[in-house]
Structure 1
Amino acid sequence: MLRIGSVVLGVSDVPRAARFWMGALGYVPRDGMDDDWVVLVPSEGAGAQVALMRSGTPVQERPRVHLDLYAGDAADQAAEVERLVALGAGRVDWDLYPDDADFVVLADPDGNRFCVIDTGNH
């Protein structure tokens, strides 16, 4: 049976992206880091690996694949969004928000889109 080993994000600056995602998720490099590649893992416990790969392709405005980061409730979501913005994330003016959106779209310093989800009503 197969299992997902890592989610890989293409980035233009691996060290900068690693600093952001380590701060965002509390992850650490698994085997060190270079300018082209790093695999980040949870500093404690289990969780999905996030790999960052140097890429020259442009960021997709509406990516086909993205990360969903779960927050506990609306207050936790708001606090996490502010924390991520302080780490270098950018707010995305997303024109596809439904009226009852439980998610906020952000972009990492390389422009990769991700969502912060309010899981309080799930």
Structure 2
Amino acid sequence: MTVRVGSIVMGALDVRRAMEFWCRALGYVPRDEPEDTWVVLTPASGDGPNISLGLSETPVQHRPRVHLDLYTGDQAAEVERLLGLGASRVDWQDYPADADFVVLADPEGNRFCVIDHA
């Protein structure tokens, strides 16, 4: 038996706003017609896990136990692109001296990292 990650689920107060950000950030598209309370986003290329967004009124965690790591060969450019799409910088106190990541938050406050994968 084989198992794989099919979907990563994140909460959002405004599912449509979160959908717009993640579609533009990752090149994903809604799998089905989005609802105000739920949408599954899938890679336009068909390759990779889904991102599912569900309505949630739970406060955003300061140190989320699960988050996305986005790999890129040009970290500075990718961070600027994501900021332009509506992400925000997170004042992260725990960067190691040789950090290869930058912590950002999507418009809903969900934190994610941009990893220098050059």
Deviates further, 95-104 or 44-53? 44-53
SS for the counterpart of 1:53 is: strand
- The one-letter code matched in structure 2 to 1:18 is M
**Alpha-carbon distance in 1 for matches of 2:9, 2:109:** 14
Query: 1:12-51: CA deviations, max 9, x gaps?
Result: 0000000000000000000110100000001123111000
Structure 2 unaligned spans of 5+: none
Give the alignment's TM-score, normalised by structure 2. Answer: 0.97
- The one-letter code matched in structure 2 to 1:88 is G
Alignment of 1:1-122 (within 5 A): 1-72=2-73, 76-120=74-118
SS for the counterpart of 2:70 is: strand
Deviates further, 38-47 or 79-88? 38-47
Q: CA deviation at 1:5?
A: 1.2
Structure 1 unaligned spans of 5+: none
CA RMSD of aligned residues (A): 0.7
- The one-letter code matched in structure 2 to 1:113 is R
Give the alignment's TM-score, normalised by structure 1. Answer: 0.93
Deviation >2 Å, runs of 4+: none
- The one-letter code matched in structure 2 to 1:98 is P
- The one-letter code matched in structure 1 to 2:47 is A
